[in-house]
């Protein structure tokens, strides 16, 4: 013990010769890695130091071995010039600095006050090279933290970028799409500014143009998904209506990344009021989404598809029923056994929305053999999966018939459900307590109280419930207490929970007495 503490006293750790030597070894490895990388770039004919194009554009190789990077001062000075060449070099200097791997000095560039100048360069249709460099530099700034994105927007870059979407030079358009995607992705306010600037119409046009390359379309699909993203408020309905046909078009493309981003857009749209869900149902896309659930093996695409359908069944009973009629449940046997825990979680969540529905809908889950699967997740899943399965099962106890609830007990659902009482997540503990209360009430009403209490006792729940009476969360302790008192009372004398956080009291000088 003393040894590892004394390493921290003064520079005890630096005096460790072995550690210093290890440091030298690691440095050697790092330097060699860099050298290897440089050598490879040469072989591949890629020159990183001086490339005048965006990452998406063809590279014209011009080897200039070691060119000088400009300092911020030089950039600021260069940008005051009247000579286009100097302006270009300064702008490029800024872009290079912002493209640096290690801590690009975004804030320094913003503080240098050159953003307004860079934004005006977006208007320079007469000098595409300059325009392009400026667009690239601004894109890199916009992809930073929120306040950095805000700096770009505050200088009026959004309308200029939207204007560039009409430009005839493909790489400039690509860069503008990229920038706008980043800005829109920052949050609802900027997203709405981008939308209001008229981004949709040119984007739609580009997609209709069959010339667009796959990576470009991937970019557009991603940008469009950002245009649908974020709540408070969600994207205005009229914009969604405008984009929907294009999103369906993107969803129909063969490239999976394009599909996936379009699908994420769908999931954002359905994560909202029921009228939006209806919009998606009416579009007729759900049949193919459901089809995708059983036909596509890769998680990249599966996740947004499942999320979208899961969102839809949070809607009205009719909307949920429509999905069930289209055969939503049939792939779920497989999904609940998926090798990715995340998919299992999403699938359980989807089912939890259905078990919150009508008795008929619950019956479909039971007859489809999915209740067993949910219990299996509850028992063996990873924690996130268990949580969703807990919700699914508990929802069933509140909306299900007595028969359906007894089915849950019969299938062995009680024990894993009660085991969740031990988890650290207070919300889940509350959910389980609600579920148990529902089940006991239900059993009471059917005259089967003692059967149910026996089952709960056999699930070892009593100890856990008693433990919960010491829980710091008042509602939990009350609910646990209530269950014990109402159904299992043998004149327990519960101790009220102690105070909330730790504020220690200074000891009196005398020896304390202990009483536990």
Site for another protein in 361-390 (CB under 8 A): 383-384, 387
Interactions with another protein, residue window 203-262 (CB under 8 A): 213-215, 218, 255-257
**Given candidates 69, 145, 402, 445, which one binds another protein under the rule CB under 8 A?**
69
CA–CA separation, 503 vs 361, rounded Å? 51
CA–CA separation, 177 vs 406, rounded Å? 56
CB of 233 to another protein, least distance (A): 25
The answer to whether 467 contacts another protein (rule: CB under 8 A) is yes
CB of 297 to another protein, least distance (A): 8
Considering the complex, state which of residue 147 and residue 359 has its C-beta at the smaller distance from another protein.
Answer: 147
Q: Using CA of residue 39, residue 40, residue 43, residue 46, what is the dihedral sign?
A: negative
C-beta of residue 172 within 8 angstroms of C-beta of residue 131: yes
CB of 197 to another protein, least distance (A): 23
C-beta of residue 158 within 8 angstroms of C-beta of residue 183: yes
CA–CA separation, 64 vs 85, rounded Å? 18
Per the structure block, which two tokens stand in for 474? 């008042």
CA–CA separation, 354 vs 364, rounded Å? 9
**Given candidates 52, 99, 278, 398, which one binds another protein under the rule CB under 8 A?**
99
Considering the complex, state which of residue 205 and residue 467 has its C-beta at the smaller distance from another protein.
Answer: 467
CA–CA separation, 193 vs 216, rounded Å? 23
The answer to whether 61 contacts another protein (rule: CB under 8 A) is no
CA–CA separation, 399 vs 355, rounded Å? 7
Considering the complex, state which of residue 14 and residue 205 has its C-beta at the smaller distance from another protein.
Answer: 14
**Given candidates 131, 139, 143, 160, which one binds another protein under the rule CB under 8 A?**
143
Interactions with another protein, residue window 27-46 (CB under 8 A): 28-29, 32-33, 35-37, 39-40, 43-44, 46
**Given candidates 77, 80, 84, 100, which one binds another protein under the rule CB under 8 A?**
100
C-beta of residue 93 within 8 angstroms of C-beta of residue 69: yes
Using CB under 8 A as the criterion, what x/- string covers residues 421-440 for binding another protein? --xxx---------------
Interactions with another protein, residue window 265-284 (CB under 8 A): none
Cα 455 to its chain centre, rounded Å, is 40
**Given candidates 19, 50, 55, 202, which one binds another protein under the rule CB under 8 A?**
55
Interactions with another protein, residue window 299-318 (CB under 8 A): 300
The answer to whether 495 contacts another protein (rule: CB under 8 A) is no
The answer to whether 1 contacts another protein (rule: CB under 8 A) is yes
**Exposed e or buried b per residue across 387-412, where buried means at least 16 C-beta atoms within 10 angstroms of its C-beta:** bbbbbbbbbbbbbbeeebbbbbbeee
Considering the complex, state which of residue 191 and residue 471 has its C-beta at the smaller distance from another protein.
Answer: 471
The answer to whether 295 contacts another protein (rule: CB under 8 A) is no
Rg (CA), the chain: 31
**Exposed e or buried b per residue across 417-451, where buried means at least 16 C-beta atoms within 10 angstroms of its C-beta:** bbbbbeeeeeebbbbbbebbbbbbbbbeeeebeee
The answer to whether 25 contacts another protein (rule: CB under 8 A) is yes
Interactions with another protein, residue window 123-142 (CB under 8 A): none
């Amino acid at each position: 013990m003393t040894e590892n503490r004394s390493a921290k006293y003064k520079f005890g750790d630096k005096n460790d010769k072995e550690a210093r030597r290890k440091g030298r070894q690691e440095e050697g490895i790092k330097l060699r890695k860099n050298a290897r990388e440089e050598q490879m770039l040469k072989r591949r004919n890629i020159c990183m130091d001086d490339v005048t194009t965006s990452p998406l554009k063809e590279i014209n190789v011009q080897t200039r071995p070691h060119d000088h990077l400009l300092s911020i001062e030089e950039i600021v000075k260069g940008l005051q010039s009247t000579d286009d060449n100097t302006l270009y070099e300064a702008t490029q200097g800024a872009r290079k600095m912002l493209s640096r791997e290690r801590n690009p000095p975004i804030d320094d560039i913003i503080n240098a006050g050159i953003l307004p100048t860079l934004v005006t360069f977006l208007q320079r249709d007469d000098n595409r090279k300059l325009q392009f460099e400026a667009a690239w530099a601004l894109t890199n700034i916009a992809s930073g933290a929120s306040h950095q994105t805000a700096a770009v927007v505050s200088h009026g870059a959004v309308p200029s970028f939207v204007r560039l979407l009409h430009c005839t030079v493909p790489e400039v358009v690509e860069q503008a799409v990229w920038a706008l995607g980043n800005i829109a992705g920052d949050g609802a306010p900027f997203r709405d500014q981008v939308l209001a600037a008229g981004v949709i119409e040119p984007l739609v046009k580009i997609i209709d143009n069959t010339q667009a390359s796959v990576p470009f379309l991937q970019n557009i699909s991603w940008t469009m998904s950002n245009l649908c993203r974020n709540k408070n408020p969600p994207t205005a309905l009229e914009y969604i209506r405008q984009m929907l046909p294009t999103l369906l078009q993107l969803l129909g493309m063969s490239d999976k990344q394009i599909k996936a981003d379009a699908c994420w857009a769908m999931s954002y749209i359905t994560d909202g009021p029921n009228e939006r869900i209806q919009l998606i149902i009416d579009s007729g896309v759900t049949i193919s989404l459901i089809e995708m659930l059983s036909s596509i093996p890769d998680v990249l695409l599966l996740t947004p598809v499942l999320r979208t359908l899961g969102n839809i069944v949070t809607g009205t009973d009719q909307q949920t029923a429509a999905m069930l009629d289209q055969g939503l449940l049939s792939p779920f046997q497989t999904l609940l056994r998926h090798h990715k825990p995340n998919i299992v979680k999403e699938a359980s969540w989807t089912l939890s929305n259905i078990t919150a529905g009508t008795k008929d809908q619950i019956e479909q889950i039971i007859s489809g053999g999915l209740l067993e699967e949910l219990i299996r997740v509850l028992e063996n899943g990873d924690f996130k999966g268990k949580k969703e399965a807990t919700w699914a099962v508990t929802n069933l106890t509140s909306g299900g018939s007595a028969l359906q609830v007894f089915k849950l007990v019969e299938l062995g659902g009680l024990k894993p459900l009660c085991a969740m009482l031990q988890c650290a997540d207070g919300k889940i503990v509350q959910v389980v307590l609600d579920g148990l209360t529902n089940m006991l009430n239900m059993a009471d009403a059917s005259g089967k109280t003692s059967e149910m209490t026996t089952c709960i006792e056999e699930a070892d729940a009593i100890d856990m419930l008693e433990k919960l009476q010491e829980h710091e969360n008042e509602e939990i302790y009350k609910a646990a207490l209530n269950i014990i008192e109402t159904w299992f009372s043998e004149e327990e004398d519960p101790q009220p929970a102690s105070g909330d956080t730790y504020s220690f009291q200074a000891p009196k000088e005398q020896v304390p007495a202990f009483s536990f």
